[in-house]
Amino acid sequence: MAKQMVKERQDITGSNCLKGVSGKVIIDEKGIKDSWKEYMEKLMNEEHERDHGISAEVNEGSADSTESVTENISHE
């Protein structure tokens, strides 16, 4: 019973299997890494609804130099 309690309290440090997109269980290390890579690429490249409402104005012309901005701030 003591061994069972110790085993139940151990942290899981690795994963031996993963369910892929197709629904099949993946057990080899390369397959698990490839599945995570595919998932993360999809996650990072998908567009979100909140991104569609963002707009910004474009101001044309020359930008102020750092020196002129610093001078304007110090005169205030």
Structural domain that includes position 33: 14-46
pLDDT, mean of residues 19-28: 88
Whether the Cβ atoms of residue 27 and residue 16 lie closer than 8 Å to each other: yes
Is 42 domain-assigned? yes
Whether the Cβ atoms of residue 31 and residue 19 lie closer than 8 Å to each other: no
Is 57 domain-assigned? no
Q: Determine the Cα angle at 41 with ends 40 and 43, to 5°.
A: 60
Domain count for the chain, please give it. Answer: 1
Mean residue pLDDT across the chain: 76
Is 33 domain-assigned? yes
Q: Tell whether pTM > 0.85.
A: no
Please state, in angstroms and rounded to a whole number, the distance separating the CA atoms of residues 21 and 38: 9
What sign has the CA pseudo-torsion 42, 44, 46, 48? positive
Is 40 domain-assigned? yes
* 25-41: pLDDT as tens digits: 988 889 989 999 999 99
